[in-house]
Structure 1
Amino acid sequence: MIDMRPVGFVIGLIIAALGATMIIPFATDLLRSDGNAHAFGEAAMISVLCGAAMALACQNRAARGLSIRQAFLLTAGIWLFVPLFGALPFVIGAPDVRLIDAYFEAVSGITTTGASVFVDVEELPRGVTLWRGMLNWLGGLGIAFIAMIFLPVLRVGGMQFFRTEGFDTFGKVLPRASDIARQLFYVYAGLTVACIAVYALLGMPLFEAAAHGLATIATGGFSPRTTSFTDYSNALDYAASLFMILGSLPYIRYVQLVQGSSRPLFADPQVRAYLAWVGSAVLVVAAWRITTSDQDAEPAFRESLFNLVSIMSSTGFGTGDFPRWGAFALIVGMWLGVIGACSGSSAAGLSVFRVQIMLGALVSAVRRIYSPSRIALVRYAGRTVDNDTMDAIVLYLGAYILTFGFLTVGIDLSGVDFVSAIFAAWTTIGNIGYSYGPMVAPTGTFVDFPDVAKIFMIVAMIMGRLSLLTVLVLLLPRFWRL
């Protein structure tokens, strides 16, 4: 039997910390006299008390550290239970929704998906708007930490290959967790402050700049406006595109950059590939729009840049009317969303790293067909990819495809039309946040989806956020045996 106390201790501390952060939206609503401060006050007390009680009940085993199986349970438990407490303000006060909708919104925020069931977000109290942005930001920071500390050592989908010096074994990583977390926080907070400052300097109202800045660096996508970035200036579109890219690069490279080593960032093959692929897609779609419509070059390029970067970085902001651009742009966008951004960031999807290795394996297989005696090894960043890594990546790709198919069928059978079901599965498993389809069109949200479909989407968001296999392994009976 797995000892759950070390896991419960960490989760309890995180829930208590989450409750403490609710003081910020509480103070915001209190100062503005929005009449919704009580919701955050009550939710904060419940979260702090429950989290503290859980941590105290489990603290006698906390000092012994975590085993591999406990680390799997921790990564899944954080994104399963923490949103439950993050949803409390939405139930207690405005917008006063049902628990399933509140939990959907909180999971979407914590997993940095950005899909929403809230209509007319401009009418929400300032504290609620700020809390949505904070959920994005807290989830993005947590994902950066998990991605750097746990996923590489858990051998999830080939992630054990994506390591840098000092991230070798589970035993070596944990003692340095506090140092790594502190460095990641400084980088993450610095990027956030810079983003908010640039937005404000370019004319965005300060509160909206703060809400958008929190969501941008987290690649989260929650916006205080129903129209997202559509009504802002052209300069803000370019600024947001830049910061979405910065938020979707490996955070360990920023840590190395701050420490005085810039070469790892610029020499990282997945960073170069990510920039090349998204840049090529932008140019192709912009050229297609110019030649098939009467749109001028600059707006065609700017809107293509913003929307495609938003999709590939799994942010979910929108500008213009991207879903109406036609099938070609939608297909390019869907592929970019499936690929996703860089491993080791708050972005989701298959990840550029995994796709690069799969493409390398494909080239190697083709070479062996016409030259059977040739030794065609798959190499990445100057290193030969071992068989265990290749097997893990192939398994991950297969799991991704099968899970996407099961989710689409499940959402469709729940009463959602097929087009909306496909895009719902795509946007949630990839943590992308874009909404499209006949059932989405009236409100631009997923509020009209049946509860069963929302449950499927909640599962998809958590699985997509935690690299699928981290969740699927928990379903194996063998995992729970001693």
Structure 2
Amino acid sequence: MIDLGPVGYVIGLIISVLGMTMLVPFTVDWVTGDGNAQAFLEAALIATMAGLLTTLACQNRAGRSLTVRQAFLLTIGIWLLVPLFGALPLVIGAPEVRLIDAYFEAVSGITTTGASVFVDIDSLPIGVHLWRAMLNWLGGLGIAFIAMIFLPIMRVGGMQFFRTEGFDTFGKVLPRATDIAGQLFFVYVSLTLACMGSYAALGMPAAEAVEHALATIATGGFSPRAASFADYSAAIHYATALFMLLGSLPYIRYVQIMQGSVRPLWRDAQVRAYLGWIAVAVVSVGLWRVATSGQAVEGAFRESLFNLISIMSSTGFGMGTFPAWGSFAIVVAMWLGVIGACSGSSAAGLSVFRVQLMFATLHQQIRRIHAPHRVAPIRYQGRSVDMDTIDAMVLYLGAYILTFGVVAVLILQSGVDFESAVFASWTSIGNIGYGLGPMLARTGTFIDFPDAAKLLMILAMIMGRLSLLAVFVVILPRFWRA
């Protein structure tokens, strides 16, 4: 039997901290007089008390080291329960939506997906805007912790490769989880402050600069404007593209830069491939736009740069008329969303690392066909990759494709049209945030989706955020047997 005490203790602490963070939008709404402050105060009290009571009930298990099975339960428990309490202010106060819609919004925020069911966003109180951005920011920070600390330990999707002491990303630079957490938090906050300052300096209103910066660095995509970034200046578009890119690079490289070592950033095969693939996609789609629409070169380049980085980094901000750009641009964007950005960041998708490893494995198999007796180990950044890592990566890719198809079919069966269902599955599992299809044309949100489809998207967002296999493992009866 699994001892749930240590898991409950940590989750209780996290929920109580979440409750206390609600005092920030409470204070903002109280100062501005938007009339929604009481909702945040009530939600803060409920979450804080529930978290503290859970912590007290599990206090006798505090300080114990987590087993691998407990680590699985902890990660899943956080992403199921934290959004539930994060949804409380949206049910109690503005916009006073149903629990399923509030939970959808909170899950989308915590998983940094950025998909929304809120229609009239511009009219919401400033505290609600800030809370949505804070959910993005807190979720992005938690995701980075899990990607760098828990997934390598849990051996999910080939991430055990990053546990090896010979790989300078983890073993030599930051050998302890506490060191990783402290350094990562400093990097995350520094990037956020730099983004805020840039937005403000370029003319974005102060409140929107704060809210957009929180969502940008988290690659979250929640905006206080229904039009997202469409009405901002070109300078802000370029700045946002830059910070979305920075937020989707491996955070550990920033730690190395702070320690005076810049070379590992450029020597990272993930970073080089990520930047290269984005460059090819932006140039291709930009030329396509110029050739098919007659748009000016600068405008076509800027819109392509912004939207494609937003999709590949799984941020979800939008500008221009991207859904109407034609099949070529949509196909390119869809593949970028599936690939995703770099491992070790808050971005989602398959990750550049896994795609590179997939191509390396395919190349090795082709060489074996031509020379069956030749020993050619798979190598990544000069290191041999063991078969355990390869098997985990192949299993993850298979699970990703299968889950994508199954979720799309189930959403289709719930009453959603084919195009909307496919892109709903794509945006949920990849935590991308973009919505395409006839059912989104009216509002630009997922509000018109049936409740069954919203529940499927909620599950897909959580599964995509936790690398799928972490959820599948817990479902198996064998996991719960001693």
Please tell me the TM-score bracket, short chain as reference: over 0.9
Mean CA deviation greater in 143-152 or 131-140: 143-152
Matches within 5 A, 1:331-350: 331-350=331-350
Q: Check conservation: 1:166, 1:173, Cα contact below 8 A.
A: no
Report the CA distance between 1:362 and its aligned residue.
1.1
1:175–1:38 CA distance, 2 compared to 1 (3 A)? farther
d(CA) in 1 for partners of 2:165 and 2:307? 35
Q: Check conservation: 2:313, 2:341, Cα contact below 8 A.
A: yes
Letter in 2 for 1:456: L
Letter in 2 for 1:371: A
Number of the residue aligned with 2:29: 29
Letter in 2 for 1:75: T
d(CA) in 1 for partners of 2:171 and 2:90? 40
Q: Check conservation: 2:404, 2:426, Cα contact below 8 A.
A: yes
Matches within 5 A, 1:216-365: 216-365=216-365
d(CA) in 1 for partners of 2:215 and 2:443? 21
Number of the residue aligned with 1:199: 199
Q: Normalization by structure 2: what TM-score? A: 0.97
d(CA) in 1 for partners of 2:56 and 2:5? 10
d(CA) in 1 for partners of 2:13 and 2:62? 11
Letter in 2 for 1:443: T
1:224–1:71 CA distance, 2 compared to 1 (3 A)? same
Letter in 2 for 1:384: S
Number of the residue aligned with 2:50: 50
Number of the residue aligned with 1:38: 38
Cα RMSD after superposing both structures: 1.7
Report the CA distance between 1:98 and its aligned residue.
0.2
Mean CA deviation greater in 181-190 or 156-165: 156-165
Number of the residue aligned with 2:6: 6
Report the CA distance between 1:172 and its aligned residue.
12
Letter in 2 for 1:134: M
Letter in 1 for 2:296: D
1:134–1:156 CA distance, 2 compared to 1 (3 A)? same
- Residue-by-residue CA offset, 1:429-475 (whole Å, 9 max, x unaligned): 00000011000110000001000000000000000001101111001
Q: Check conservation: 1:149, 1:173, Cα contact below 8 A.
A: no
Q: Percent identity?
A: 72
Q: Check conservation: 1:91, 1:97, Cα contact below 8 A.
A: yes
Q: Check conservation: 2:174, 2:180, Cα contact below 8 A.
A: no
- Residue-by-residue CA offset, 1:237-267 (whole Å, 9 max, x unaligned): 1100000000001111111211222222111
Q: Check conservation: 1:68, 1:154, Cα contact below 8 A.
A: yes
Report the CA distance between 1:227 and its aligned residue.
0.6
Matches within 5 A, 1:30-429: 30-163=30-163, 165=165, 176-429=176-429
d(CA) in 1 for partners of 2:36 and 2:405? 41
Mean CA deviation greater in 316-325 or 155-164: 155-164
Q: Check conservation: 2:163, 2:171, Cα contact below 8 A.
A: no
d(CA) in 2 for partners of 1:167 and 1:206? 42
Number of the residue aligned with 1:434: 434
Q: Check conservation: 2:43, 2:88, Cα contact below 8 A.
A: yes
SS of equivalent to 1:249? coil
Letter in 2 for 1:189: V
d(CA) in 2 for partners of 1:412 and 1:367? 41
d(CA) in 1 for partners of 2:162 and 2:238? 30
SS of equivalent to 1:295? coil
Mean CA deviation greater in 225-234 or 290-299: 290-299
1:319–1:366 CA distance, 2 compared to 1 (3 A)? same
Q: Normalization by structure 1: what TM-score? A: 0.97
- Residue-by-residue CA offset, 1:135-188 (whole Å, 9 max, x unaligned): 0000000111111111111100100013464999x9999993333212111100
d(CA) in 1 for partners of 2:478 and 2:266? 42
Letter in 2 for 1:183: Q
d(CA) in 2 for partners of 1:202 and 1:414? 45
d(CA) in 2 for partners of 1:409 and 1:428? 14
d(CA) in 1 for partners of 2:119 and 2:432? 19
SS of equivalent to 1:439? helix
Structure 1 stretches of 4+ with a deviation exceeding 6 A read 170-175
Report the CA distance between 1:376 and its aligned residue.
2.8
Q: Check conservation: 2:312, 2:341, Cα contact below 8 A.
A: yes
Report the CA distance between 1:62 and its aligned residue.
1.7
SS of equivalent to 1:109? helix
Q: Check conservation: 2:283, 2:301, Cα contact below 8 A.
A: yes
Query: Which consecutive unaligned segments of at least 5 residues does structure 2 have?
Result: none
Letter in 2 for 1:193: L
